[in-house]
Amino acid sequence: MKKYQIGYTTGVFDLFHIGHLNILRKSKELCDFLIVEVTSDEQTMKKKNRMPIIPYNERIQIIESIRYVDKVVTTLLSSGDVGSALQIKAWKKYKYNALFKGDDSKGTDVYNKLEVYLKARGVDVVYFPYTKGTSSSKLSLYLEKTLVDNQFSRTHD
């Protein structure tokens, strides 16, 4: 039996990469049943001030196809929800025993408050080391720069 019965993680999962896979694999290694929330476009815009490149429905299909994932859920979004409110809402609905996140969230105001709330309910927050050298934001910036550079060279040849 694994350490946790129900695990929960959340992410945008835009431009899916090895860091995303690492979080899902490591999460599943610690729980019997892994629930993964795919962050909506609206919530991504609030959080990162940009829209994902990959459409929401396609990101859901990608995560559903990964063997480590037992259930995919959509963002439980209400107007005004920010920060830890979404994970608290998810805990109330799914009663997970562990929340898994990359360690880039550790120590933030949102996660400090969330840890206190969840710990009082017997839920652990488990952080995994951030995969160095890769991120959807970096990939997105690289693609934008490449497209702009290619567009510029085509118009000036």
Q: What amino acid is encoded at 84 in this protein?
A: S
Sorted by where each begins, the domain ranges of the chain are 4-132
The confidence score (pLDDT) of residue 107 equals 94
Q: Give the whole-angstrom CA distance, residue 4 versus residue 96.
A: 9
Q: Give the whole-angstrom CA distance, residue 129 versus residue 3.
A: 19
pTM (two decimals): 0.81
Q: What amino acid is encoded at 89 in this protein?
A: K
Fold of 4-132: Rossmann fold (3.40.50)
Q: What is the pLDDT of residues 97-119, one digit of tens each?
A: 999 999 988 999 989 999 999 99
| 3-state SS, residue 99 | strand
Q: What is the pLDDT of residues 66-82, one digit of tens each?
A: 999 999 998 766 555 55
